[in-house]
Chain A
């Protein structure tokens, strides 16, 4: 079946512009996560959605970052007034539920470059 998809695959933007990154989770998966990976570093958790519950935003690095998940499926991560330190690969993952035994399946990521 189809895996997690993300778009765009690459995004180059100028400092100060807003960007939107999209994630389509695996159909039927109720949990959705956003992570980012800066060059030479491991993945950092950003935000988590589970069904209709309030999202866990504890990983968002600043109030310029926000995310929503419409209809319990597609999610959009928005970065306002982008800065050069926002350059990274942004990864989305989904899992069937959010239990600790559930495997998270990752998408291919969006590589964001802020000039």
Chain B
């Protein structure tokens, strides 16, 4: 079974600092990769996703992530954070293939809480 690990549980940084959150997964086959974000008091929402093609994926709010297959990694980055980026970030993977696959269940990492100080 696949698993996902996020290296940092808590990150504290100042506005305008650069952010990089690590995500590694363990699965030998083809994966689909996601970053979700949960802002305080809000629903979990999708930041970006990777299925195939260009391994550098751009998402909403200036976030991007790079899939490095050889390292089983999908790290999330933002060059300059804002106070409004304070949230919990979750990396997730699926290994289902095809519309008729038995579900597209997500396997999540433990999450990283990011606090951006104004």
Q: Count contacts on B: residues with CB < 8 A to the other chain.
A: 28
Decide yes or no whether A59 CB sits under 8 A from chain B. yes
Decide yes or no whether B35 CB sits under 8 A from chain A. no
A42 engages B90 (CB within 8 Å): yes
Decide yes or no whether B82 CB sits under 8 A from chain A. no
| Complex Cα gap A41–B97 (Å) | 27
Interface residues of A in 78-115 (CB under 8 A from B): 91, 95, 97-104, 106-109
B51 engages A101 (CB within 8 Å): yes
Which residues of chain B come closer than 8 Å to A108, judged between CB atoms? 43
Interface centre among B44, B46, B110 (most CB of A within 10 A): B44
Closest approach, in angstroms, between the C-beta of B76 and any C-beta of chain A? 15
Interface hit among B11-19, B61-69, B98-106: B98-106
Which residues of chain B come closer than 8 Å to A102, judged between CB atoms? 104
**Interface band, chain A:** 20 to 34
Closest approach, in angstroms, between the C-beta of A97 and any C-beta of chain B? 6
List 11 A-B pairs, Cβ < 8 Å: A33-B103, A42-B110, A43-B92, A48-B104, A48-B105, A50-B103, A98-B101, A99-B104, A106-B44, A107-B43, A108-B43
List residues of B whose CB falls within 8 A of some A CB.
4, 6, 32, 36, 43-46, 49, 51, 90, 92, 94, 96-99, 101-111
Pairs A-B, 9 closest by C-beta atoms: A42-B108, A48-B103, A106-B44, A99-B99, A45-B105, A43-B108, A42-B110, A56-B103, A100-B32
Given contact pairs A59-B105, A99-B101, a sample of 5 additional A-B residue pairs in the complex whose CB atoms are under 8 Å apart? A42-B6, A56-B102, A98-B103, A100-B101, A103-B46
